[in-house]
Amino acid sequence: MKRREFITLLGGAAAAWPLAARAQQKVPTIGFLGASTQANWTQWTNAFVQRLRELGWIEGRNVAIKYGWAEGRAERYGEIAAEFARLNVDVILTVGSAVPAAKQASSTIPIIFAIAVDPVGSGMVTSLARTGTNATGLSAQSADLAGKRIEILRELFPSLSRLAVIANVDYAASVLEVGEVEAAARKLGVKVEMLEIRRAADIIPAFDALKNGAQALYVCASALVNANISRINILALGARLPTIHPLREYLGSGGFMSYGANNADLFRRSADFVDKILRGAKPGDIPVEQPTKFDLVINLTVAKALGLEIPPTLLARADEVIE
């Protein structure tokens, strides 16, 4: 081979090598395990992805996101988590109800929960300061939230004496919340009527069994409720029951009022946890954080449909009014 041809060949190979090396570099992958449906989680997913971009992680460029949607069926958690483990994703982002399945699928892949109720009591972590496991994230628990929701209802209905509560009783966090609701209701002299559900098919029969006299419906959040919130709100409107929800997102399908942590903000903040993991941090060393933003939202459209008059003092406290 002539010297000039050899130099040309060598130069071409040198130029091509960085491109080949970059092509072989593994792009970090996030396994996004959604407990409900893609449509129901759009706002939360967008908040997470937007914050990732702000931190320098661009989907399709220097990070990949694999989505799996359980559609409100807890049995799907294990299937999706096992697939993420097979793909050897770098981190799994999910919510508290799916953490046990994710931990069973892998004891080494870091798990970030954007929302979890009582992560210590449920065994997800050993403590909030040092989790001691492959999981960490944001706790949405606040022991007095149930009481505050009932107080808001009492402000609207001074004579409130009977409250219906709908909850997925197979979901530990909902069972915990029901206990808090019952304790708060007892202090205020309010009787509680439970509408127990375990699957979507239980929702209509639960409303059919509802006794006369309930003045409002307290909705406990869960993946099952999230996937069926439109049906719950429609049935509540048909029964002329104003609803109070933990999530603002539940109001878009005919919910009346919500008070709770801003979940879009929690998903946004969860991106900071993922960023730390992708940069080498260990989940056991990252403390669990608490919500910092709680919103009261009132749907005036539903209030008018139910013939409700909202006290001016309550309207003035609202962070958002839907008209």
Look at residue 18 and tell me whether its pLDDT is greater than 60. Answer: no
DSSP structural state of residue 313: H
Pair 102, 113: CB distance under 8 Å: no
Give residue 143's pLDDT.
Answer: 55
Rounded to an integer, what distance in angstroms lies between the CA atom of residue 133 and that of residue 127? 10
Pair 262, 236: CB distance under 8 Å: no
Segments of the chain assigned to CATH 3.40.50.2300: 9-141+263-293, 145-261+295-322
Fold of 145-261+295-322: Rossmann fold (3.40.50)
Determine if residue 118 is left, alpha or beta; phi over 0 gives left, psi from -120 to 50 gives alpha, anything else beta.
left
Using a cut of 0.85, tell me whether the model's pTM lies above it: no
Q: pLDDT tens, 171-219?
A: 888 898 999 999 999 999 999 999 999 999 999 999 999 988 899 999 9
Q: pLDDT tens, 38-69?
A: 988 999 999 999 999 999 999 999 999 999 99
DSSP reduced 3-state for 33: strand
Residues 5, 10, 16, 20, CA torsion sign: positive
Residue of 55 and 6 predicted with greater confidence: 55
* Residues ≥6 apart with Cβ < 8 Å to 62: 27, 28, 56
Pair 198, 174: CB distance under 8 Å: no
Chain mean position to CA 268: 11
Residue 16 — very low, low, confident or very high, per pLDDT cuts 50/70/90?
A: very low
Q: 82: which 2 tokens?
A: 């096992």
The domain covering 9-141+263-293 belongs, at the CATH homologous superfamily level, to Response regulator (3.40.50.2300)
Q: pLDDT tens, 60-110?
A: 999 999 999 999 888 999 999 999 999 999 999 999 989 999 999 999 999
